[in-house]
Amino acid sequence: MGPKRRKPIPEEALAYIHRIACMQMNLSDAYMFLACLYSDDTTMTSFGAYSQDKASVKWFYAKRILAYITERGNKVCIPEIQRPEIDTQGCIQCAIDILNMENELTEILHDLQDVALTVKDNTTITFTKELIYTQRRNEDRLALEIVELRRKEKLAQEEDDKNKRRLKGTRKKPRR
């Protein structure tokens, strides 16, 4: 006898699970882009490395979700995946765009949990609880990183302004 197959995922919940897998892939791509923005050596030790790690983790979650779908005996049917629309103007704005994507993913996870409760799919409820817990931690950590990035940017700007004022004051006056 082969491994015991679980009951297939109800169609109502399956659409949400496919969307979650797509969002995880999009987030992986967005985090990789953010890591590339922080590719210089000084920042790679902190936020750049964090972003690169999150890209790998998000891709792993997407694969895990796809495995869950096939494990339950359903077929994977992912819609066309578009590149995430993130702002390339600045690193902080890009991180904020990713945080918004993370918030959207959390909403989809909560919707999936509601549907799973409605159709009484206990396996999906358990699976979703784990994802929501991890997702909440991810959002909190990214929000803290954004606050820290803003603080560092403000300090760098103040230092820059201070240096400009200092250079202005040390200009030699022309001789007459």
Which residues are annotated as part of the binding site for Fe cation?
102, 135
**SS3 of residue 64 by DSSP:** helix
Return phi, psi of residue 120, to 5°: 55, 50
CB atoms within 10 A of CB 22: 19
Distance, in Å, from the CA atom of 103 to the CA atom of 131, rounded to the nearest integer, reads 13
Distance, in Å, from the CA atom of 84 to the CA atom of 22, rounded to the nearest integer, reads 11
What tokens does 57 get? 């983790």
Q: Write a three-state SS string for 6-31.
A: CCCCCHHHHHHHHHHHHHHHHHHHHH
What tokens does 80 get? 């066309």
Residue set of the binding site: 102, 135
CA 108 to centroid of chain Cα atoms: 14
